[in-house]
Amino acid sequence: MAKIVGRKKGSDKVSVTNAEIQKEEVKLPDFNIDQVNALIENRRSIFPKDYSGEIIPKAKIETLLKNAHWAPNHGKTEPWFFKVFAGDGLKKLAEAQSRIYKELSGDAFEEKKFNKLANRPLQASHVIAICMKRGSNPKIPELEEIEAVAAAVQNLWLSATSMGLAGYWSSGGVTYKDEMRDWLGLGAEDKCLGFFYLGMPANGWVKPHRQSGWETKVEWVEG
């Protein structure tokens, strides 16, 4: 249990301590909930074919990754890992995923899918491989590590939306194949959970919509 050890006169900040750590409580700023609501509601999937071709400054990509790092996770294992492809790196990704698809597809090979995998990364400014690196705590279930990575992606996506950047989480093709995991340099217990495409929207924003109201997805238990 934390113990209060000091308070500055006239300040809302309280210094606390326990047997091992010392930290300072921080007063939250006054967030504008209407703006937060609008940000969440306007997050959309915008596909690479609808990107303008403009290159996003690296500093903005770094901000997205920094915000992703603040995702919640059980056990503080921080299992998210992002591999960012840009410039000629996009060509390497395009070649790898199309090649892996061709090698694994056998008689099910489709030229259309091959071309899609070979061309889609080249339509983006950046592509971020979304990876789960298994934490060292065996008590944390794998599913919870995956959930933490998904939370990190949501942080990233909302941040991109706030900057007017188009984003799309792709999980098709060869995403979950061992060959893709190995190509990304991940360990045997790690996973690739998809690729996040980023670009500047060429045709404005997509109108928000849902198939049904939020009330239909909620059940209240109050007694």
Q: Which two tokens stand for residue 67?
A: 């915000």
Query: Which amino acid does the sequence have at 136?
Result: S
Q: Categorize the per-residue pLDDT at 104 as very low, low, confident or very high, splitting at 50, 70 and 90.
A: very high
The answer to whether residues 124 and 61 touch, using CB atoms and an 8 Å cutoff, is no
CATH number at residue 170: 3.40.109.10
> Is residue 142 pLDDT above 50, yes or no?
yes
Give the full edge-to-edge strand order of the sheet including 22-24: 3-7, 14-17, 22-24
Element spanning 88, H or E: helix 88-105
* Structural domain of 136: 45-205
Q: Is residue 196 part of a domain?
A: yes
Q: Is residue 89 part of a domain?
A: yes
Q: Is residue 151 part of a domain?
A: yes
Q: Is residue 37 part of a domain?
A: no
**pLDDT tens digits for 173-193?**
899 999 999 999 999 999 999
**Percent of the chain beyond pLDDT 70?**
90
In whole angstroms, give the CA distance from residue 85 to residue 56: 12
CA dihedral 204, 35, 214, 212 (to 10 degrees): -20
The answer to whether residues 174 and 108 touch, using CB atoms and an 8 Å cutoff, is no
Q: How many domains does the chain have?
A: 1
Task: Among 7-11, 66-70, 84-88, name the one with the lowest average pLDDT.
Answer: 7-11
**pLDDT tens digits for 27-52?**
888 899 999 999 999 999 999 999 99
